[in-house]
Chain A
Amino acid sequence: MTPALPREILICTIARLLEGVRTVAVGAASPMPAAASMLRRALDEGARQVRLSILGSVEHNFFTNGSTELFDCAGQGRLDAFFLGGGQIDGQANVNLVGVGDYPQSRVRWPGSFGSAYLYFTVPRVILFREEHTPRVLVEKVDFISAPGISPPGVYRPGGPVALLTSKALFSFDRERPGFTLESLHPGHDLAELHAATGFAFAHTDDPPVTPGPDTATLSLLRGRVLDELEETYPAFATDWRRDLAAAQPVT
């Protein structure tokens, strides 16, 4: 079997972070979190039911009360996991979805905070996922706090970040310190490269492990059922993925 592609390692890593969830929501334009949630659902079949809601999808949407229901669900404590990206993410897990430079007259304007200023507080397992791992994304301090990584004592905060996954590495987040800890480097990346690409300081061991790839059974499930399921919502992403798989096949 063709070894796991970089995007497959990311998807399987997210699926690992979702272990034990019952209900997970995926925002718009998030094919890899969607694939990972579908993989989690497939892996847990028979053991526990994983409910999955993909924003903007008709097929994968069980809400009937309009776009407010996702947030109401989170407020009720029914939503176990969610994903956030960010134009900027800093070392305290603050997320900026608004823009670069001063506010309101941003030098670069991004769409806006969406539901982050609520979901980051209310969803227990928020996974920060941003493929681009550069000093312009992973900054020391964000220019605008759409959603803060931590809250002072006394602020209602059942939710928050648990991990940050990029194209280069996986970090866990420690709310007490607060700060990120390098858990593993993806195949082909090293610590020196990571320091150069990261705008904030992070804790790490001298010899961090390599992010594990999926076993054969998981990879088969991913390339079969999950890829088929994903195709309905993310046809372009699925086509691209199939093309990568075809190109990666060993020449015989």
Chain B
Amino acid sequence: MPSDLRSMAQHIKSGMRLALPVDYAGVSMAMTRPMIDHGAGDLHLICVPTGGLQVDQLIGAGLVTSVETSAVSLGEAGGAPRFNQAVKDGALRLRDATCPAIHAGLMAAQKGSPFVPMRGLIGTDVLRHRDDWRVIDNPFADGGDPIVLIPAIRPDIAIFHAPMADRFGNVWIGRRRELAAMAYASTQTLVTVERIVDHSLLADEMTAAGTLPALYVTDIGLAPGGAWPYGLWGEYPTDTDELARYARAARSAEGFAEYMASQAKVQA
């Protein structure tokens, strides 16, 4: 029996660290409104590895204290207006990263390791502004060879949208393996899906390989079209016009509020 999205949002408590996927990997836009209505704030967002509309809306709703990300944008629709404004106002604690560093932090958590080493980064201002990252000399080299250590990223909750789950709580993620990485690293995982099937996804080798087992899944909600206006791989394309409409509206705080209010009416 799938859960109601509003009750799923109750898992989120103030001050939690939330992991959210990149715009093309399966964003649970359907959870955005329930999260805003639920109102748990002081959130720390971890974008895997970049953020977009959902991140911008949570920031616009005043729920976000910090963002760890490699980028935030609306893609073809341009910059993320509420994010950009919050940065200008100094209203966000920013942890600028680079895509593979976020993957590395999740990988460390997945392994139960305190950190993983990563190439690149040396000499960047990305590294200079990260007091939680370290540089050591490669202990396996004959001397020198500095390398960056990325500490484990352990989100409280990962939230994403996928094409299907089965009634045993297994979720099919196909080749979007970053969704599995998010779930492995996070204490809880909330998933919305297009459909729920009766047969076990693990019973068929073809689907089993792309399945996130129920072990890692806290709660599943049914939300057809739940990535909209983002697309969902293999299901439907991105609604670029809607993203552009949001981008225009959310340039001001008032425009953002009006947009969100009109969306609430559509969904009611």
Interface residues of A (CB under 8 A from B): 28-29, 56, 58, 63-69, 71-72, 75, 97-99, 103-107, 109-122, 144-148, 151-152, 154-156
Contacts and interface: CB of A to CB of B under 8 A. Distances in A.
B186 to A, nearest CB: 15
Nearest to B107: A68
Q: What secondary structure prevails in chain A residues at the interface with B?
A: loop
A97 B69 CA distance: 13
B96 A112 contact: yes
B50 interface: yes
Contacts of B83: 109
B79 to A, nearest CB: 7
Contacts of B146: 154-155
B103 A71 contact: yes
Given A118-B98, A156-B147, A65 B118 contact: no
Contacts of A107: 88
Contacts of A146: 98, 124-126
Interface stretch (B29-37, B57-65, B172-180): B172-180
Contact of B124 (A29, A105, A145): A145
A120 B119 CA distance: 11
A118 B24 contact: no
Interface of B: 22, 24-25, 48-50, 69-73, 75-76, 79-80, 83-84, 87-90, 94, 96-101, 103, 107, 118-127, 129, 144-147, 175-181, 233-234
Given A71-B103, A146-B125, A114 B120 contact: no
A118 B100 contact: yes
A65 B177 CA distance: 5
Contacts of A28: 75
A118 B103 CA distance: 12
Contact of B145 (A67, A72, A112, A154): A154
Given A56-B24, A121-B120, A113 B70 contact: yes
Contacts, number: 141
B86 to A, nearest CB: 9
A135 B179 CA distance: 41
A38 B177 CA distance: 27
Q: Which of B25, B107, B122, B234 has the most CB of A within 10 A?
A: B122
B99 A106 contact: no
9 contacts: A58-B234, A66-B178, A103-B129, A109-B84, A110-B79, A120-B120, A122-B120, A148-B123, A152-B123
A72 B107 CA distance: 12
A145 B179 contact: no
Given A113-B71, A145-B124, A118 B101 contact: yes
B25 A66 contact: yes
Nearest to B86: A109
A117 B126 contact: yes
A217 to B, nearest CB: 33
Given A98-B125, A155-B123, A106 B177 contact: no
A30 to B, nearest CB: 11
B126 A113 contact: yes
B100 A103 contact: no
B99 A118 contact: yes
Contacts of B24: 56
Given A106-B88, A109-B84, A115-B70, 17 more contacts: A66-B179, A67-B49, A75-B119, A98-B125, A107-B88, A109-B88, A112-B96, A113-B71, A113-B98, A115-B49, A117-B121, A118-B119, A119-B120, A120-B120, A144-B125, A148-B124, A155-B123
A146 B97 CA distance: 9
B79 A111 contact: yes
Contacts of B125: 98, 103, 144-146
